[in-house]
Amino acid sequence: MIPLILRRLAQLPLILGVIFTITLALAWAVPGNPLENPERRPPPEIAAAMKRQYNLDSFWRFYGSYLDSASGVKFVRESLDSQPKSVTNQGTRWVFDLGPSLRHRDRRVNEIIADSLPVSMTLGAAAIVFALIVGVGAGVLGAIRPNGVLDALTLTIALIGISLPSFVIGTVLLLVFAVWLAWLPVGEWGTLRSLILPAITLGLPPAAYIARLTRLGMIEQLSMDYIRTARAKGAPEHVVVLRHALKNAFLPVLSYLGPATAFAMTGSFVVERVFNVPGMGKHFVNGVQNKDLFLIIGVVLVFATLLILMNLLVDVLYRWVDPRIE
């Protein structure tokens, strides 16, 4: 187990380096000047000086300087120096410095992510909990009596959850529960009631996938010999279904939970936009619109790190659920 974790963690910097290179190349190719404000355009000489300051006048110079600070090499080098230089206005030094935001003046990308990541992770955790409860429950109920009325209803709801885009689901939920019925708030954040609609919207598609995976796995497991043996020994039906069959049927769901949790934890850009949630998705959209290279790359790197760590966690849980897996 430990060699697996160490090997995967050793691969993390290489994977992030490849993702950083591709993201920077794509973001650099987007037309536009990130230093120009639509309301205020700086004189050409000031714009040129700002480009030199942020290394925006050369792709490779920006590539090297960003990699130097984001990898922590610059922090280590300056820590060995008697007079460190990379100190922000608030006196904070970041080990992995993701640079300044070009649109949010006097704020660094680390600060923006530190403020928005807990919001996105709270929303993502609520969405995954909702998806697990609804998805596993619907899958188990549908598998107990396959091709029955309850199974058909489960498959229909799952198909709707997979087919409908998030902005449609979110808009319908807002109209029904926030506008017409006035049960839940609109455009607010910070309370449990404001978390319900975005969590359902974000969690409904993974709940549909989990329901289908659970149903197929349960149907397969309930037809196995060890299930018939457990029933022949007089085990209660709920013990057969939940303790024996569900444990083995949950392995495909566990595989899906890795990327699904990472996606949900970093927030859905569309869902955060629809419900005005102040998470990472909102900042990423604004960064793309304004070509804020530092913010775009920082959010992508955080998302990629979470995705890799979640997949590693799934591999570890695989060993715990089924020790036979190597």
**Six token digits for residue 203:** 């969690």
What is the per-residue pLDDT for 51?
84
Supply φ then ψ for residue 126, to 5 degrees. -65, -40
Residue 241: name the closest of 223, 259, 268, 262 by CA.
223
What is the per-residue pLDDT for 67?
93
Q: How far is the CA of 58 from the CAs of 24, 61, 103, 290, 312, in angstroms? A: 12, 5, 20, 19, 36
What is the per-residue pLDDT for 147?
81
Sign of CA dihedral 283, 284, 290, 291: positive
pTM of the full structure: 0.83
Domain boundaries, the chain: 118-291
What is the per-residue pLDDT for 199?
93
Residue 300: name the closest of 276, 258, 266, 261 by CA.
266
The answer for residues whose C-beta is within 8 angstroms of residue 149's C-beta and 6 or more apart is none
What is the per-residue pLDDT for 22?
95
Per-residue model confidence as pLDDT tens digits over 70-90 = 998 888 888 887 555 555 544
The answer for residues whose C-beta is within 8 angstroms of residue 263's C-beta and 6 or more apart is 124, 307
Whether the Cβ atoms of residue 143 and residue 219 lie closer than 8 Å to each other:
yes
What is the per-residue pLDDT for 85?
55
CA angle 39–282–126, rounded 5-degree value: 165
Sign of CA dihedral 298, 299, 302, 303: negative
Can you identify the CATH homologous superfamily of domain 118-291?
A: MetI-like (1.10.3720.10)
| H or E element in which residue 145 lies | none
- What are the residue ranges in the chain where pLDDT is below 50? 89-90
Supply φ then ψ for residue 265, to 5 degrees. -65, -35
Residue 258: name the closest of 299, 318, 217, 214 by CA.
318
What is the per-residue pLDDT for 254?
84
Helices (H), the chain: 2-29, 44-53, 59-70, 73-79, 109-144, 149-163, 166-173, 192-222, 225-232, 237-239, 246-265, 269-274, 280-290, 293-321
The answer for residues whose C-beta is within 8 angstroms of residue 302's C-beta and 6 or more apart is 113, 117, 266, 280
What is the per-residue pLDDT for 180?
92
Whether the Cβ atoms of residue 249 and residue 210 lie closer than 8 Å to each other:
no
User: How far apart (Å, rounded) are the C-alpha atoms in residues 5 and 308?
Assistant: 11
What is the per-residue pLDDT for 69?
92
